[in-house]
C-alpha cells in the first residue's frame, strides 16, 4: 500500500444532509423503550399506558419545533412516507374537485417520483422551473394555478444546493386561492425557523434522522381541519390517519431530537453558517475555476455545494474519502448513477459543471479545524485531477 492509503490524520463527516448520528441525549431517552418499557401504546394496562404517555410527550415536542398543536402531528416511518401521505391523501381525497398538482423541478425524489406515479393514475402535474439559484418564483406558481388545482407542494430548504424557497409567499398565495399547500421541510427543520401557523402551511414533512434522531421515523404536520385519507390501513392508530403499532423508542428519540433542535437552533445555526461561509470562501479563493451552486444568501446554514470545472465530482469524493473526508455528489440516492443531479440541471447548470459538483453538509460535530483540514486537502486533489483531465484548461 502506498502512503496515500495510510489512515487519514483526521475524519471529517460532511454529509449531514444524507443522515446524522443520533445524539447521546437522544439515545439515552430512547433506551428504556426497547426493553423495560416495551408496551404497545394501544394497550390499556400499565405497560401500554407508559408507552402511550411517552408517545404523546414526544408528539408535544415535535409540535413545539413546528409551532403546531400535538393533535396536528402524524407519526410516520420517515420523510418519504410523510411526503407520500401528503400527496396521495390530497390527490385521492380531492379527485372529484380537480386533478392538478403543482410542484417544483427541484423536489426530493420522495415528491417527484410520487408525482410521477400519480400522473400514471390520471393526475396532471406541473413541475415548476427554477432560476439559476434553484429558486422557485411565486409568480410562476400563480401562473400555474388552474381551476382544477388541488395541491401545491414546494419544499422549504433544498437538499442538494441549500436554497431556501419563498414558502411563506407561496403559502399565502395558496391560502388566498383555497388550494392546499404542502412543504417538504426535512432539510430545514431544526436549522431555520419553521412556524407552520405563520407560514400558511397546511401540511409539512419532517424526518428524525436528518436532525440527530433515529432513522425510520418522521412526521407529517397536518393543519387542524385538513382531512387525511390514510394510505396505510389497519388499526386506528394516529387517530385513524396512519395505521401500525407505534415505533415507541423511535418516536421518543425523534421528539427529544426536535426539542433539542428547537432549543439550540439560533446558536447552532449561526455557528454552522459561519463554518459554511469559511468553507465556501476558502474554496473559491484557493481553487480557480470553481462556482458556488445554490443561492448565495437564502441558503441553509449547513449546505455547501460547489462545481469544479474539468473534473468529475465522483473522483473528488473518492479522493476525499481517502483522506478521511465524507462528502457527496448530488443526493445520496442519485450518486452512483451517471446522470447528473436533476436539481443542478433544472438550475440550467451545464452537464460538465453538474458532473463536477460536490455537496458538503455540515453538522454538530464539525469544527473550524475540520474546515481548515478540508481547505488543506481539497485544493491539491482538484489540482491533481485536473492535471489528468482531458478537459482541463491546459488541454484546451
Ligand X SMILES: *Cc1c(COP(=O)(O)O)cnc(C)c1O
Catalytic residues: 333
Report the residue number, 156 or 386, with the smaller CB distance to ligand X. 156
Interaction mask 350-379, ligand X, x per CB under 6 A: ------------------------------
In Å, how far are 268, 309, 354, 396 from 390, measured between CA atoms? 42, 12, 17, 8
Q: Is 213 one of the binding residues for ligand X (CB under 6 A)?
A: no
Beta bridge partners of 124: 100
20 vs 366, beta carbon nearer ligand X: 20
* Cβ-proximal residues to 104 (8 Å cutoff; 6+ apart), any chain: 127, 128, 130, 136, 154, 155, 165
Q: Which residue is nearest to ligand X (CB)?
A: 79
Q: Identify which of residues 162 and 218 has a Cβ nearer to ligand X in the complex.
A: 218
User: Which position among 20, 80, 305, 361 is part of the footprint of ligand X (CB under 6 A)?
Assistant: 80
Least distance (Å) from ligand X to the CB of residue 245? 19
Per CB under 6 A, which region of 47-55, 74-82, 125-133, 272-280 contacts ligand X? 74-82
Kindly report the backbone phi and psi dihedral angles of residue 320, in degrees, each rounded to the nearest multiple of 5, phi listed first: -65, -40
Handedness of CA 327, 110, 65, 156 (dihedral sign): positive
For ligand X, the closer CB: 80 or 149: 80
Question: Quick one: which of 116, 137, 133 has its CA closest to 344?
Answer: 133
**Is residue 207 at the binding interface for ligand X, with CB under 6 A as the rule?**
yes
Answer for which of 15, 184, 202, 312 binds ligand X (CB under 6 A) is 184
Choose one: 48-56, 72-80, 134-142, 371-379; the region binding ligand X (CB under 6 A). 72-80
Min separation Cβ 383 and ligand X, Å: 32
Chain residues 150-179 in contact with ligand X, contact rule CB under 6 A = 155, 159
| CA 166 – CA 174 distance, rounded (Å) | 12
* Least distance (Å) between residue 58 CB and ligand X: 16
Angstrom distances, CA of residue 395 to CA of 134, 164, 390: 32, 38, 6
The DSSP-derived string for 217-272 is: -EEEEE-TT-----SS-SS-HHHHTS-S---HHHHHHHHHHHHHHHHHHHHHHHHH
Site for ligand X in 88-117 (CB under 6 A): 108, 110
| Near ligand X by CB under 6 A: residue from 134, 218, 250, 301 | 218
Nearest to 186 by CA among 168, 216, 222, 211: 211
Residue 396 Cβ vs ligand X, minimum distance, rounded to whole Å: 37
Which of residues 187, 247, 290, 307 is near ligand X by CB under 6 A? 187
Comparison of 108 and 237: residue with beta carbon closer to ligand X: 108
Interface pick for ligand X out of 186, 203, 311, 323 (rule CB under 6 A): 186
Spatial distance between the Cα atoms of 262 and 256, rounded to a whole number of angstroms = 10
Q: In the complex with ligand X, which residue's Cβ is closer, 130 or 155?
A: 155
Q: How far is the CB of 343 from ligand X (least distance, A)?
A: 11
DSSP symbol at 21: P
Total residues at interface with ligand X (CB under 6 A) = 15
Least CB distance to ligand X at residue 303 (A): 11
| Cell reading at 351 | 452537464
HSE-CB of 56 using CA atoms within 13 angstroms = 11
75-83, 145-153, 319-327, 363-371 -> range binding ligand X (CB under 6 A):
75-83
> Alpha helix locations (H) across 12-136?
24-30, 46-66, 79-93, 109-120
Q: Return the bridge partners of 184, or none.
A: 205
CA 21 to chain centre: 15
Q: Closest CB to ligand X among 110 and 377?
A: 110
Region binding ligand X by CB under 6 A among candidate stretches 129-137, 202-210, 265-273, 304-312: 202-210
Summarize as ranges the residues that interact with ligand X (CB under 6 A).
78-80, 83, 108, 110, 155, 159, 184, 186-187, 207, 209-210, 218
Amino acid at each position: 500500500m502506498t502512503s496515500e492509503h495510510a489512515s487519514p490524520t483526521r475524519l471529517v463527516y460532511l454529509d449531514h444532509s444524507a443522515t446524522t448520528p443520533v445524539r447521546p441525549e437522544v439515545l439515552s431517552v430512547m433506551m428504556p423503550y426497547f426493553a423495560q418499557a416495551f408496551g404497545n401504546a394501544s394497550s390499556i394496562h400499565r405497560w401500554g399506558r407508559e408507552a402511550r404517555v411517552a408517545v404523546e410527550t414526544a408528539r408535544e415536542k415535535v409540535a413545539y419545533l413546528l409551532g403546531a398543536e400535538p393533535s396536528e402531528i402524524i407519526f410516520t416511518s420517515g420523510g418519504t412516507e410523510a411526503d407520500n401521505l401528503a400527496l396521495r391523501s390530497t390527490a385521492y381525497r380531492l379527485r372529484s374537485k380537480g386533478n392538478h398538482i403543482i410542484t417544483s423541478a427541484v423536489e426530493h425524489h420522495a415528491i417527484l417520483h410520487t408525482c410521477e406515479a400519480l400522473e400514471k393514475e390520471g393526475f396532471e402535474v406541473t413541475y415548476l422551473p427554477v432560476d439559476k439559484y434553484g429558486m422557485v418564483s411565486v409568480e410562476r406558481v400563480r401562473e400555474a394555478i388552474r381551476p382544477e388545482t388541488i395541491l401545491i407542494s414546494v419544499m422549504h430548504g433544498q437538499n442538494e444546493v441549500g436554497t431556501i424557497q419563498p414558502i411563506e409567499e407561496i403559502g399565502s398565495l395558496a391560502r388566498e386561492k383555497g388550494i392546499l399547500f404542502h412543504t417538504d421541510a426535512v432539510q430545514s427543520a431544526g436549522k431555520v425557523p419553521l412556524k407552520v401557523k405563520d407560514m400558511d402551511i397546511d401540511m409539512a414533512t419532517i424526518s428524525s434522522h436528518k436532525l440527530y434522531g433515529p432513522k425510520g421515523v418522521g412526521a407529517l404536520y397536518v393543519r387542524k381541519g385538513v382531512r387525511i385519507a390514510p394510505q396505510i390501513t389497519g388499526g386506528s392508530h394516529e387517530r385513524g390517519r396512519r395505521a401500525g403499532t407505534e415505533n415507541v423508542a423511535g418516536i421518543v428519540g425523534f421528539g427529544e431530537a426536535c426539542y433539542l433542535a428547537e432549543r439550540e437552533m439560533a446558536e447552532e445555526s449561526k455557528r454552522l453558517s459561519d463554518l459554511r461561509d469559511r468553507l465556501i470562501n476558502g474554496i473559491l479563493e484557493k481553487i480557480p475555476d470553481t462556482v458556488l451552486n445554490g443561492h448565495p444568501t437564502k441558503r441553509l446554514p449547513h449546505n455547501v455545494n460547489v462545481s469544479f470545472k474539468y473534473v468529475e465530482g465522483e473522483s473528488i469524493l473518492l479522493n476525499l474519502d481517502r483522506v478521511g473526508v465524507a462528502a457527496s455528489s448530488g443526493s445520496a440516492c442519485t450518486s452512483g448513477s451517471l446522470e447528473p443531479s436533476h436539481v443542478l440541471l433544472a438550475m440550467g447548470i451545464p452537464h460538465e459543471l453538474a458532473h463536477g459538483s460536490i455537496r458538503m453538509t455540515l453538522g454538530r460535530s464539525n469544527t473550524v479545524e475540520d474546515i481548515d483540514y478540508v481547505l488543506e486537502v481539497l485544493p491539491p486533489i482538484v489540482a491533481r485531477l485536473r492535471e489528468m483531465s482531458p478537459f482541463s484548461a491546459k488541454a484546451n
